[in-house]
A and B are shown apart, each in its own frame.
Chain A
Amino acid sequence: MIVGEQKPISEIREIIAPYRRVLVLGCGTCVKTCFAGGEDETAVMASALRLSLKKDGLAGDIREWTVERQCEDEFIQEAARPAAECDAILSLACGAGVQMVARRFPDKPVLPGVNTTFIGVLEERGLFTEECAGCGQCKLALFGAVCPIARCAKKLLNGPCGGSRDGRCEVNPDTACAWHLIIERLTALGQLDNLRAYVPPTDWRTSLSGGPRKLIREDHRI
C-alpha cells in the first residue's frame, strides 16, 4: 500500500487559513489502511479542526466526505456536490489523490492534509515499513525477495557495505540491514552463491530519472 501520515494540525491550520468553508476529503483505500485518511480519520480530522478553530475564536465551516479512491475520477465525482459548496478541499489521500482531485475540480484550491511517505507494508500493529521504491524494473528474484534499492540506505546491489552491526543498518539501528536479510534468506534457501554474480548498474530511466512515468495498457483503452 501507499503509506502516509497526517500533517500536524498546526500546519493544516496554516494552509487552510485563507478559506472559510473547507471540505476534508478522505480516501477509503491505502490511507485508510494506514490510518491516515480513511472515513474515521477524516471525521477525527474534521472535528479536530473545528475544535482548534473554535478555541482560537475563529469562524470556520469544516465539512467532511470520504470517497472510495481519490486516484480514480469516477469515485471523486461522488464528492462533486460537497466540493461545490466549499471554498477549498483538504485531501487526506496520497499525493496522487490530491492531484487527481484538483483535476476534477479545477476552480477549487486542493490542499494536502497528508505527507505521503512510501510504498510499504504493515510490519506489525502500528508499524509500517518501506519495501518498494517503484524503480520500474523489479530485481527481487535476485535478492531473495528483499529489495536493496528500497531497503538499503546506499541502494547497494552487489553486496553490503562494511557498516552493518548485528544485522542492523548503520544509518539507523532500528532498521534491519537489507543485505543481512538477503544473505540470511538466500542462505536458508541454499542460494547464497547467487550473490557471486555481478549486478550491472541500474538503468534508472524506469525510475524517477526518466521524468514522470506512464503505463499504457492498450487492452484497456477502448
Chain B
Amino acid sequence: MRTPFASKLAALLAQGNFVVTAECGPPRGSDAAAVIQKGRLLKDVVDAVNVTDNQTAIVRMSSIAACRHLLELGLEPVMQMVTRDRNRIALQSDILGAYSMGIRNILCLSGDHQSFGSQPDAMNVFDIDSMNLVHAVRRMRDNGTDMSGFALKDSPRMFIGAAANPFADPFEYRVIRLAKKIDAGVDFIQTQCVYNVERFRRWMQMARDEGLLEDVHILAGITPLKSGGMARYMAAKVAGMDVPEGLIRRMEGVDKKAAPAEGVAIALETIAELREMEGLSGIHIMAIEWEAIVGDIVRAAGLTPRPTAALNRPAAGE
C-alpha cells in the first residue's frame, strides 16, 4: 500500500478501518447554505463525502467550491473531477487550486455524456480520459511534476480514487481495467451500486485472485431504493446497473409508504454481507437527494461512532 499523507480518508484506510463515505450533490444555484445543510446531515456519520462534478451533465455549483464549504464544516471532502468539461490545462490548474484550499482526495472520472444533461448542445472536451487523469495526479504527487514534466512548487499530494463497475460486461475485462487503474496510480475505488451481491463477490474474488487487492482499497457502492418504481427504473434505464428481479419484486411488493423502509432494510442487509467480504475496505453510500437517510443507515448498521484518524493535517493553503 502506498504511504498515506495528509488525507484523513487515506489514514483511516491505512489504519484498517472499514470506512464509510457518502455522496453530496451540489445545488443548482450559488447558495452555500444548501451544501452546508447536506453536510450537517453527514457530519460524524461518515468518514468522507464525495462531491459530484456537474453530475448527469447538469450545471451545478462547482465541486471545488462545495468541497471547501464542507471542509469548513469539518468534513473530509472527496472532490470528484470529470474530464468531460475541462482540458488537461484546466484540470491540473484546478487540482492545484483545490489542494491549496485543503482538499486532499480526488475521484477521477470521465463523466456522464452531455447528451444526458440539460445542455445537450454543449461541446464536450475529453482531452484526456479518467485513466490519464489518475496518472497525472499520481505524477503530481509522486514525481512533483505536472503533465509537461515541469517541477511544481509544492506539488499537490492527493489521495487518488477512481470508479469501477463490477457489473458491466464483459466480466473478464473488468478486472483488466481495474488492474490498469491501479497501475495508473489509484489508491481507492468506489464501485457502482451493489444490488447483486453474488456478482460483486465474484468480481472481488477475481480481483483477489489477481492480487489486486494488495494495492487498492475497494469501497462498495450502496444506493438505498426508495420505491419499486425506482428499482424498476434503475434496472431498465440506468446504464451499467444490475438490480436483480427478486429485489425489484420485493420493493414492488410492499405498500408505497413502507417502500423507503424496505429499501433501507435491503441496504442494511447488503452492508451486512459486504462487511463479511474479504478484502473489502468500506462502503460508499450514494443516497441520491436523500442525504437525510445516510445517518440512519450508518447507525442502524452499527457503524457509528466513526473512528478518528491520527494525522497532521496542514492548514488550508499551507
Contact = CB atoms under 8 A, between A and B. Distances in A.
Contacts of B129: 154-158
B135 interface: yes
A195 B173 contact: yes
A183 interface: yes
A87 interface: no
Contact of A201 (B110, B111, B127, B172): B127
B165 interface: yes
A170 B127 contact: no
A40 B216 CA distance: 62
B275 interface: no
Contacts of B124: 154
Interface in B243-264: none
Interface stretch (A19-27, A101-109, A159-167): A159-167
A140 interface: no
B173 A162 contact: no
A196 interface: yes
Interface in B159-206: 163-165, 168-170, 172-173, 176-177, 179-180, 183-184, 192
A53 to B, nearest CB: 33
Contacts of A155: 126, 129
Interface in A154-190: 154-165, 167, 170-172, 180, 183, 187
A51 interface: no
A154 B126 contact: yes
B172 to A, nearest CB: 7
Contact of A165 (B84, B172, B239): B239
Given A164-B168, A171-B115, A183-B173, A158 B132 contact: yes
Interface in B116-172: 124, 126-132, 135-136, 147, 163-165, 168-170, 172
Contacts of A198: 131, 135, 180, 183-184
Contacts of A96: none
Contacts of B176: 159, 192-193, 195-196
A170 B238 CA distance: 9
Interface of B: 84, 88, 110-113, 115, 124, 126-132, 135-136, 147, 163-165, 168-170, 172-173, 176-177, 179-180, 183-184, 192, 239-240
B119 to A, nearest CB: 15
B231 to A, nearest CB: 17
Given A156-B130, A159-B131, A183-B170, 13 more contacts: A156-B110, A158-B184, A162-B163, A164-B239, A164-B240, A170-B113, A171-B113, A180-B169, A192-B172, A195-B173, A198-B131, A200-B132, A201-B147
A153 interface: yes
A154 B84 contact: yes
A201 B180 CA distance: 15
Nearest to A187: B170
Contacts of A170: 113, 239
B237 to A, nearest CB: 9
Contacts of A159: 131, 173, 176-177, 180
Given A154-B113, A195-B176, A201 B239 contact: no
Contact of B126 (A156, A160, A167): A156
A170 B113 CA distance: 9
A154 B126 CA distance: 6
Nearest to A161: B110
